[in-house]
Structure 1
Amino acid sequence: MKGIVFSEFLDMVDGKFSIEMSERLVSEVKPPSGGAYTTVGTYDAQEIVDLVSKLSSITDISVPDLSGGRTPFPH
Structure 2
Amino acid sequence: MASSSDSWIKEYYEASKLADDINGMISQRISLPTSGSETQRHASAIRRKITILGTRLDSLQSLLLKLPGKQPM
* Superposition TM-score, scaled by structure 1 size: 0.30
* Superposition TM-score, scaled by structure 2 size: 0.31
Work out which of the two has the higher radius of gyration on C-alpha atoms and give 1 or 2: 2
Which structure is richer in relative contact order (CA contacts within 8 A, separation 6 or more)? 2
- Greater helix share, 1 or 2? 2
